[in-house]
Amino acid sequence: MRITFIWFLSLLFCLPVCAQRTAVKVNDAWLFRKGDTLNKQVPTGQEEGWEKVTLPHSWNQTDAFVPTGAPYKGIGWYQKRLLDTFTPSDKVFLFLEGALLSAEVYVNGKLAGTHEGGYTGFAVPLTSFLRKDGPNVISVKVDNSAKAHIAPISGDFTLYGGLYRDVWLIKTSDIHFAFTSYGANGVFVQTPQVSAQRATVQVKGTLTNESGRDRKLEIAHSVKDAQGKEVAAFTSKVQSKAGQSHSFSAVSKAIPTPHLWSPDSPYLYRVTTSIKDARTKEVLDEITHPVGFRWFSVSPDSGFFLNDQHLKLTGASRHQDWEGLASALPDELHAHDARLLKELGANFVRLAHYPQDPALLEACDRLGLLVWMEVPTVNEINPSQAFAENTSTQLREMIQQHYNHPSIVMWGYMNEVLLRLGSLKVSDTEKEQIIQKTVQLARQLEKVARAEDPTRLTTVAFHGSDLYTIHGLQHISYLVGWNLYQGWYGGKFSEVGTFLDKQHQAYPKIPLLVSEYGAGSDLRINTLQPEQFDFSPQWQFLYAQSYLKTIQTRPYVAGSLAWILADFGSEGRQETMPRLNNKGLVTFNRTKKDIFYFYKVTLRIDSAVVHVATQDWPLRRMAPQKAGDSFVINPINVYSNCAEVELFLNGKSLGRKQVQETVATFDVPLVPGKNNLRAIGERQGVPAEDFKTVEMQLQPYQLNQDAAAFVEIGVNCGSNAWYFHPEKQFIYEPDQPYRSGSWGYVGGEPYRPNKSRPGIQSNIAGTTQNPLYQTLRQNLEGYRFDVVDGLYEVELSFAEPEGSHSSLVYDLGSAAAAASGKRVFQVLLNQKKIINELDLARQAGPKTLLQRTFQVKAQKGQGLHLQFEKISGQPILNAIKVKRVQ
Ligand code: GCB
């Protein structure tokens, strides 16, 4: 909502002189109904089934996160009665900041405007449709079903449908700034000359005279500094003809020694542009915009420069959704994310993969974040002319609507557009044609961007494939971004530097940056032996540490963006959290993960920061490393930008350590119960400290010695990680080989169809605990638990990892039939068969939880002994829990 916010501000500050323009948010008292009306008539709102809603609103707030089934894609109707009355000279517009994906706006049943594209605003002129004495009924039909000609046609983010941004009713006099056909407010601000010595402001725009008379007008511009002191004033004249639009352009005199805008000092001036009657000086319309005096450039060898100072662009990308809200966020939450980025020490943000809320841009201007904004041409293009036109329109809308934000330095127009090519079921010739069309579209979009705004850089992002450079896509935009995931989806961290060096050598004239890199983390998973793709925060840390070092030590890399600021909805994902991409530095509800602080200590050089990295793993359950110990030694990282840190455990110093590459690792003997950790450090004479508490649930080293010590144990079979089950508030422990007197598996190996990833990446039906059941042990002989004699409950959990989910309940038969018979086994507990001929695919269906719980007596010191016997295929076990009953 930003352009309008400025209007609104100007409205507050200059009443009553400019009472001609009012901008009122009309978010309240809408009626909403999912689905199209039966007879396709514009609804009156009197029909059954309308729900009262307040905007912003999305209809996918809950269904986008249900593990099975699909979020609603289709039509939703919104309706509102406007009770305002209007004078004959009022010109009235509805400005919708965003309706995803396409919209039709009706006034009193008549079509007044349409829009295609879910992330840019659009203005609908209402005047000729309105009853001046009201009431008037506004109906908006919104449709989020995919359309081949509207970008995005695919992507790793959910297309939440709805009127999910603010809607404004704007009233002007009959002489006013003209909305452009791309939804901009008709006034564009530039700084044609800018240096530390002097700067000028240029204002260009268009006004419309709908007054029915020729008028002599004056366009007055007043530039004020942050204190409100006028530093420049200039005017131009317009002889306006009745019924016509007129463009204007004027440049201020030089403003000496301007206060420059930068991330460290985001100093904003404001320019107010007024249309006045040349004779009476009556203000007919007025708009205020921010002005930031800054200039920038990028070099292929030494990166990015802001105001002639080198600046390594470092930050994160941001998607716009939030837990429980889908994409329908109030403005405050957009600004919240900008503050999070600033707290992190970021100077750069990529608004992935689409234009975002004006409130976010306003915060970036105010707080000092350089912005890469882009249109959603993601994963693939549609080779049609209609797609090319729609994408160009979205690009023009984005640039024109956000042109006046000094924070924006780059316009992007493609992300990984050749990603889907490999999986397209078309001939090689057709693939070649798609590539050619993609190159053609890139050229067209580049031309549009340069024509619309020659003052900014242009950019695109490629995935780590040679396809782009083979076809020359790197030669089109100013900068090239690489989305790199070596060490996550495949490959190794160490390959990243080599990859970048190769690109730089091959194309030494092309500035490049790392537009994405990231690893997933699920705070229910923690490990002391992190491995690639395990979704542990510990691997996420190693990954980020390695990438940051590789990037920061290469001067030619202009910058980098962590993927991603916050976890976000991705309807196609079936990883540890269904329909979520969890590579965030903060969670979906913006809880900070440890990784957030790793970035903070690395990037914040302005303050002393110390962070005990146990935020993601506050509750632990382990046995001591040796018999007789009443503690467990855990390596604990302290992140800091101080040279040295000291760590205290329950008030006792564990010593001081040098911080190496922002980390010091302490071996901490954690005792049962609460462990209070305090770390201190000092940077340039400024002290810093952090407190954390870790709770340790100590398990017995030997299960067969102390009858009272053992209560229950859970095992996350086939996994290196602890798993915290939030619904049971219970921790499953990583798998371990059997040790006499204790517990563990006998035989078998972790199930791992993909060498660089543990387990499977599919939702497990019948549970909300994917991680526990996505990893498993296969081909096992058994498990032993050397418990003392007594009565025990043993819970075995299985989920067939192969085959696909039945999409419909009544389809269970066919999905099961396809996979059944391939894996059949039986299970014995203390020599007694407890499960006979278990065929998971047939009995539960593929990727579906099946649990069996048994009571059994352990006697004569034999403990509990599970044996798995194969009939066909290999036996498996996903989780086991043993609990003492008596
Ligand atoms: C990418 C995409 C982004 C995905 C990300 C991921 O390269 O540009 O949209 O979300 O990877 O997490 O895989």
* Architecture of the domain spanning 707-884: Sandwich (2.60)
Give residue-wise pLDDT tens across range 375-412.
999 999 999 999 999 999 999 999 999 999 999 999 99
Q: Is the CB of 319 under 6 A from ligand 1?
A: no
Write the residue with the smallest CA distance to atom 1 of ligand 1. 483
Q: Whose CA is nearest to atom 10 of ligand 1?
A: 156
- The structural architecture, per CATH, of the domain 22-172 is Sandwich (2.60)
What H or E segment, with its residue span, contains residue 642? none
Residues 6+ apart with CB under 8 A from 453: 399, 403, 411
* 61-70, 489-498, 657-666, range with the lowest pLDDT: 61-70
From ligand 1's centre to the CA of 469, what distance in Å?
20
Query: Which of helix, strand or coil describes residue 648?
Result: strand
Q: Verify whether ligand 1 is closer than 6 Å to residue 516 (CB atom).
A: yes
Which CATH superfamily is 619-698 part of? Immunoglobulins (2.60.40.10)
Question: Is any ligand 1 atom within 6 A of the Cβ of residue 393?
Answer: no
Return d(Cα 804, Cα 845) in angstroms, integer: 9
140 Cα to the center of ligand 1, angstroms: 32
416 lines ligand 1 (CB under 6 A): yes
- Distance, in Å, from the CA atom of 700 to the CA atom of 627, rounded to the nearest integer, reads 9
Q: Can you name the CATH fold of 2-10+183-295? A: Immunoglobulin-like (2.60.40)
Distance 32 CA to ligand 1 centre (A): 33
Tell me the one-letter amino acid at 184: A
Q: Give the model's confidence band at 68: pLDDT under 50 very low, under 70 low, under 90 confident, else very high.
A: confident
For residue 621, the surrounding DSSP H or E stretch is strand 619-622
Burial of 862 (0-12, 13-18, 19+ CB in 10 A): middle
State the distance from the centre of ligand 1 to the C-alpha of 564, rounded, in angstroms.
9
Whether the CB of 563 sits within 6 Å of ligand 1: yes
Answer yes or no: is pLDDT of 636 > 50.
yes
What is the distance between the alpha carbons of residues 680 and 780, in angstroms, rounded to a whole number?
47
* Nearest one of 318, 343, 316, 323 to 589, comparing CA atoms: 323
Note the pLDDT of residue 15: 36
The span from the CA of 654 to the CA of 275, in Å, is: 70
Cα dist. 502→75, 100, 466, 478 in Å? 48, 40, 11, 19
If you measure from the C-alpha of residue 583 to the centroid of ligand 1, how many angstroms do you get, rounded to a whole number? 9
pLDDT at position 5: 43
Within 10 A of 197 (CB to CB), how many other CB atoms are there?
Answer: 10
| Pair of tokens at residue 298 | 């990028």
Ligand 1 neighbourhood includes 800 CB (under 6 angstroms): no
pLDDT surpassing 90 at residue 20: no
**Virtual CA dihedral for 517, 521, 527, 532, nearest 10 degrees?**
-40
Q: Helices (H) and strands (E) in the chain — how many of each?
A: 12, 56
Q: Kindly give the distance from the C-alpha atom of residue 489 to the centroid of ligand 1, in angstroms, as a whole number.
A: 11
The answer on pLDDT for 808 being more than 50 is no
Task: Look up residue 709 and give its two tokens.
Answer: 């010590």
Q: Is the CB of 573 under 6 A from ligand 1?
A: no
**pLDDT tens by residue, 332-359:** 999 999 999 999 999 999 999 999 999 9
Whole-angstrom distance, CA of residue 372 vs CA of residue 352: 9
Distance 400 CA to ligand 1 centre (A): 27
Does the Cβ of 342 fall within 6 Å of ligand 1? no
CA of 710 to the centre of ligand 1 (A): 45
CA 254 to chain centre: 41
575 pocket-lining for ligand 1 (C-beta < 6 Å)? no
Q: Out of 182-186, 713-717, 803-807, which region has the weakest mean confidence (pLDDT)? A: 803-807
Sign of CA dihedral 651, 656, 657, 663: positive
- CB burial of residue 324 (10 Å; 0-12, 13-18, 19+): exposed
- Return the DSSP state at 737: B
**pLDDT over threshold 80, residue 17:** no
Please give the number of the atom of ligand 1 that sits closest to the Cα of 483: 7
* Gap between the Cα atoms of 33 and 140, Å rounded: 11
pTM, 2 dp:
0.95
Task: Assess whether pLDDT exceeds 80 at residue 597.
Answer: yes
Q: Does 583 contact ligand 1 (Cβ within 6 A)?
A: yes
Which of 563, 567, 568 is the pocket-test mutation for ligand 1 (most atoms within 8 Å of CB)?
A: 563
**Span 549-554, average pLDDT:** 97
Ligand 1 pocket mutation pick from 354, 374, 416, 484 by most atoms within 8 angstroms of CB = 416
Ligand 1 centroid, distance to 374 Cα (angstroms): 15
Distance 156 CA to ligand 1 centre (A): 6
Integer angstrom CA distances of residue 551 from 249, 498, 512, 606, 881: 43, 11, 11, 21, 45
Closest CA to 849 of 63, 70, 67: 67
Angle at 85 between CA 83 and CA 86, to 5 degrees: 145
For residue 818, what pLDDT is reported? 65
**What is 52-117 written as a DSSP string?**
EE-SS--TTTTGGG-SSS----SEEEEEEEE-----TT-EEEEEES--BSEEEEEETTEEEEEEE-
> From the CB of residue 58, how many other CB atoms can be counted at a distance below 10 Å?
25
- Tell me the average pLDDT across 784-790: 97
Paired tokens of 857: 């007596």
Ligand 1 nearest atom to the CA of residue 488, by list position? 13
Q: Is the pLDDT of residue 11 over 80?
A: no
The alpha carbon of 487 and the centre of ligand 1 are apart by a number of angstroms equal to: 14
pLDDT of residue 814: 60
Residue 483 near ligand 1, beta carbon < 6 Å: yes
Please state the rounded mean pLDDT for residues 798-805.
91
Residue 339 token pair: 């503050």
Is the Cβ atom of 524 under 6 angstroms away from ligand 1?
no
Q: What is the mean pLDDT of residues 639-666?
A: 98
Give the pLDDT mean for 132-148.
95
Edge-to-edge strand list for the sheet holding 864-872: 743-746, 782-785, 864-872, 824-829, 832-838
Q: Is the predicted pLDDT of residue 817 greater than 90, yes or no?
A: no
H or E element at residue 821: none
What is the position in ligand 1's atom list of the atom closest to the CA of 419? 7
**What band does 39 get if pLDDT is binned at 50, 70 and 90?**
low
Burial of 34 (0-12, 13-18, 19+ CB in 10 A): middle
Encode burial over 486-501: b for 16+ CB neighbours within 10 A, e otherwise: bbbeebebeebbebbe
- Regarding beta strands 557-562 and 313-318, do their DSSP bridges make them parallel or antiparallel, or are they unpaired? parallel
Q: How many angstroms separate the alpha carbon of residue 367 from the centre of ligand 1?
A: 27
- Mean pLDDT within 532-537: 98
The answer to whether residue 3 scores a pLDDT higher than 70 is no
* d(C-alpha 289, C-alpha 270), whole Å: 6
For 832-843, what is the mean pLDDT?
A: 96
pLDDT, one tens digit per residue, over 178-197 is: 998 999 999 999 999 999 99
Give the distance (Å) from ligand 1 centre to CA of residue 164.
Answer: 23
pLDDT beyond 90 at 148? yes
Q: Whose CA is nearest to atom 5 of ligand 1?
A: 156
CA-352 nearest atom, ligand 1: 9
User: Collapsing DSSP states into helix, strand and coil, what is residue 360?
Assistant: helix
Q: Which atom of ligand 1 is nearest to the CA of 416?
A: 8
Can you tell me the mean pLDDT for 236-250?
A: 96
In percent, the amount of the chain with pLDDT more than 90 equals: 91
**Best probe residue, ligand 1, of 379, 581, 757 (max atoms within 8 Å of C-beta):** 581
pLDDT band at 12 (very low <50, low <70, confident <90, very high): very low
Q: By alpha-carbon position, which residue is closest to atom 9 of ligand 1?
A: 156
Cis preceding-peptide flag for 864 (omega within 30 of 0):
no
State whether the beta carbon of 158 lies less than 6 angstroms from ligand 1: no
Do 2-10+183-295 and 707-884 come out as alike in CATH topology?
A: no
How large is the average pLDDT for residues 156-169? 98
CA 593 to chain centre: 14
Average confidence score pLDDT of the chain = 94
DSSP assignment string, 187-248: EEEE-SSB-SSEE--EEEEEEEE-SSS-EEEEEEEEEE-TTS-EEEEEEEEEEEPTT-EEEE
Say how many Å lie between the CA of residue 415 and the centre of ligand 1: 9
Q: How many CB atoms lie within 10 A of CB 746?
A: 15
How far is residue 712's CA from residue 732's CA, in Å, rounded to a whole number? 10
Whole-number Å distance, alpha carbon 581 to ligand 1 midpoint, is 9
Cβ–Cβ < 8 Å for 553, 559: no
Tokens representing 886 are 């008596």
DSSP 277-302: ETTT--EEEEEEEEE-B--EEEETTT
CATH class entry, domain 311-606: alpha beta
pLDDT given at position 4 = 43
Given a cut of 70, is residue 13 above it in pLDDT? no
User: Is pLDDT at 645 greater than 90 in this prediction?
Assistant: yes
Rounded to the nearest angstrom, the distance between the alpha carbon of 301 and the centre of ligand 1 is: 27
pLDDT category at 839 given cuts 50, 70, 90 is very high
Q: What spatial distance separates the first Cα and last Cα of the chain, rounded to whole Å?
A: 63
**Domain ranges for the chain:** 2-10+183-295, 22-172, 311-606, 619-698, 707-884
Q: What is the pLDDT of residues 727-760, one digit of tens each?
A: 999 999 999 999 999 999 999 999 999 998 999 9
Cβ of residue 415 lying under 6 Å from some atom of ligand 1: yes
Q: Which residues pair with 472 in a beta bridge?
A: none
Rounded (5°) CA angle 691-697-702: 140
